[in-house]
Amino acid sequence: MKRKLTLKLIAKELDVSISTVSKALRDSAEISEDTRQKIKAFAKLYNYKPNNIALSLKNRKTRTIGIIIPQIVHHFFTTVIRGVEQMAREHNYNVIICLSNNDFDKEVLNMELLANGSTDGFILSLAKETLQKDDFRHLTETIDQGMPVVMFDRVVDEIPCDKVLIDDREGAKMGVTHLLKTGCRKIAIITTEDYVTVGKLRTKGYIEALESYDIKVDPDNILKLDSIDRCDQGCVAKIKHFLKGKDLDGVFTVNELFAVEASKALRTFGHNVPDDVSIVCFSDGDLSKYATPSLTTVSQHGEQMGRKAAELLINKLERPEEEEEEYTTAYIETSLIARESTKKLK
Amino acid sequence: MKRKLTLKLIAKELDVSISTVSKALRDSAEISEDTRQKIKAFAKLYNYKPNNIALSLKNRKTRTIGIIIPQIVHHFFTTVIRGVEQMAREHNYNVIICLSNNDFDKEVLNMELLANGSTDGFILSLAKETLQKDDFRHLTETIDQGMPVVMFDRVVDEIPCDKVLIDDREGAKMGVTHLLKTGCRKIAIITTEDYVTVGKLRTKGYIEALESYDIKVDPDNILKLDSIDRCDQGCVAKIKHFLKGKDLDGVFTVNELFAVEASKALRTFGHNVPDDVSIVCFSDGDLSKYATPSLTTVSQHGEQMGRKAAELLINKLERPEEEEEEYTTAYIETSLIARESTKKLK
DNA sequence: TTGTACGCGTTATCAT
DNA sequence: ATGATAACGCGTACAA
């Protein structure tokens, strides 16, 4: 097991100084053609590669982006990561990923860990617990230390940093409007409690869509569940109870899990989808595509979101120090994918 | 924007030497109680944290594990990552993730990049193209440089390193045996071409299961598709064509996408699942859980796989240099999850 | 008890 | 044209 080749070793081997080797490899004109060739040949032969850690220390830059997300087993986050990875690679950055597991302490710990030299900046989506605690000192502190931060999806307004968001309100409005356009008039929504920002915004879009069609919003047609990430037995029971015996012709849900369960429940009650009741959901995955019937969704474009977040971060990182601080909030547009769970547009 | 606090800055501020600060913070008995308190108080107040990069350079250890996988938008890989992340965190390691996109060049590039000081070792699943090219120099080189490598899932035998594998043959056998136990006798398999190792092994398990029930294997009941990761329109057409008019009472597929499409196709042809035809698949996701009918699957336990891979790697990393080289291949057992797509066991 | 010197691998500056 | 030196931030063996 041989040790990694370093400038020092090359220098020793060829009986020149370290700095000569360094210069030669960087094609400095100072070095004679002769020795330069010799050194480069040797380095190539033994496959010399400069040590990134040493470079990071010297340059005080790691060319590494830290991503902190609540969970990775989640199609949406996964697509975002892919987007970040793409953009990072295009600009010669590395990506290091940490999971908060929706746990406040782990989020803080991870940030501190990565902030101590491992990373030049952060892209993050806040843990649920962090939002509930309403404690963002770890964010303000790293920003104060001069590390750029880009937040996406689960964002909090008061933090001074770039943000990338899905236009949840507009997306929900688009989805519900699609139901309206295909003839639905009695439309329910399955959403989350308002403290989940995206749930709140999507509920808002639902209301706006109805109002733009002069339809009164019936509170009985709104079901608010606890989590947006899962749909356990308790959720399923609530969905069944909610839908049972209701006179509806459309259902909008804020994620695809709710939609799949709603679809199942409706069929249990003898309703046909989409002939009796149509379904549209916010989506981030394959489930809606492969469900039976396949689900019409408002698509979130996570990859684009990741690309945008990385772009904003890299801009900040490569911007000259003195430039004026300025924070942008980018919105990623959603789009509607019509499938079998809604009727055809006339 | 203040600069990060360093030992040097603290030393200057408190008018002591750098090493005094260093020792004080590490609770060295050499330092007087008095100055130690003073220094620690100051460090705490201004939230001093040692710079990881400097530590990495000094210790020639990064405490970072590099993961290289073909893709991240894939439930199985995602669960593996989560497992690695857990185990890594428990042992105070970081995780850095790179994607090969199933591209040979990108895999090589990523490995070189991370091998130059960013990482102490690798956990990886090979790109499809790498397997096809049959070129593993990037692996042998990094291993020769003394970096431990653990391969999982997409593995190649001849590389000297630890490996973690799903017991694909045994898992498939279990799945097909479940079909047999529930009364199926005319069982087809939808699998991949043999160059995809996992497909080959699962096909083998299918054959073994049939043979243990003295059932002759009918080549007409075997469909081999190109990819195991996707199921595009071409695949769907082949599946439909394959199943059309066939006299079957069971279908085993090597992933859940094929199973979902098979299930759809069968229903199109007027077959009921599971009354007429039962379905079992190898699975790594939510699809089988939420499909209608939900699918009986052979579960892969990716998280466990990730944990095991990380454990093996960390063992190698923390093992004294001199110890004998020894490579282990760990098998992660699968388990059967019975759902609606198969009949009840008597 | 405190401080000095060195090394990790690299590059930039200054001397020879 | 080549080499010595300092610096990035840290820890430690050794000197004072």
Which tens digits make up the pLDDT trace of B159-177?
Answer: 999 999 999 999 999 999 9
| pLDDT tens track for B12-52 | 989 999 999 999 999 888 898 889 999 999 999 998 999 99
The three-state (H, E, C) secondary structure of B277-315, written as one string: CEEEEEECCCHHHHCCCCCEEEECCHHHHHHHHHHHHHH
Q: Is the pLDDT of residue B320 over 80?
A: no
Where does the pLDDT of residue B309 fall: very low under 50, low under 70, confident under 90, or very high at 90 and above?
Answer: very high
Kindly tell me if the per-residue pLDDT of B151 is higher than 90. Answer: yes
> What is the DSSP-derived secondary structure letter of residue A284?
-
pLDDT recorded at residue A322: 61
Answer yes or no: do A1 and B113 touch at CB < 8 A. Answer: no
- Rounded to a whole number of angstroms, the distance from the CA of A248 to the nearest CA of chain B is 22
CA distance B120 to chain A (A): 12
CB pairs under 8 A between A and B: 139
pLDDT at position B252, please? Answer: 98
Residue A206's SS3 state is helix
Contact (Cβ atoms closer than 8 angstroms) between residue B176 and residue B205:
yes
Q: What mean pLDDT is predicted for residues A109-128? A: 92
Residues B88, B121: contact at Cβ < 8 Å? Answer: no
CA pair distance B200, B137, nearest whole angstrom: 25
Dump pLDDT digits (tens) for B53-92.
Answer: 999 999 999 999 999 999 999 999 999 999 999 999 999 9
Which of the four pLDDT bands, split at 50, 70 and 90, describes residue A321? Answer: low
Per-residue pLDDT tens over the stretch B190-240: 999 988 888 999 999 999 999 999 999 999 999 999 888 888 889 999 999
The CATH fold of domain B64-165+302-333: Rossmann fold (3.40.50)
Local confidence band at A341 (pLDDT 50, 70, 90 cut-offs): very high
SS3 of residue B298 by DSSP: strand
Residue A325 has pLDDT above 90, yes or no: no
Residue A318 touches chain B, beta carbons under 8 Å: no
The pLDDT assigned to B295 comes to 96
Q: Which of A51, A141, A146 comes nearest B117 by C-beta?
A: A51
For residue B247, the model assigns a pLDDT of: 94
Question: What pLDDT, on a 0 to 100 scale, did the predictor assign at position A198?
Answer: 87
Give the Cα separation of A295 and A285 in Å (integer).
11
End-to-end CA distance of chain A: 71
Whole-number average pLDDT of chain A: 93
Phi first, then psi: what are they for B226, rounded to 5°? -75, -50
Residues of each domain in chain A carrying CATH 3.40.50.2300:
64-165+302-333, 168-300
Q: Could you say which architecture CATH assigns to the domain A168-300?
A: 3-Layer(aba) Sandwich (3.40)
Average pLDDT over residues A80-97: 93
- Between these two residues, A174 and A345, which has the higher pLDDT value? A174
**Strand pairing category for B296-299 and B335-337:** antiparallel
Residue-wise pLDDT tens digits, B240-255 = 999 998 999 999 999 9
Q: Could you identify the residue whose CA is nearest to the C1' atom of nucleotide D6?
A: A58
Give residue-wise pLDDT tens across range A234-276.
999 999 999 998 999 999 999 999 999 999 999 999 999 999 9
Q: Is the pLDDT of residue A320 over 70?
A: no
Which bases on strand C have an atom closer than 7 Å to a protein beta carbon? Answer: 1-5, 7-13
Give the Cα separation of A231 and A293 in Å (integer): 19
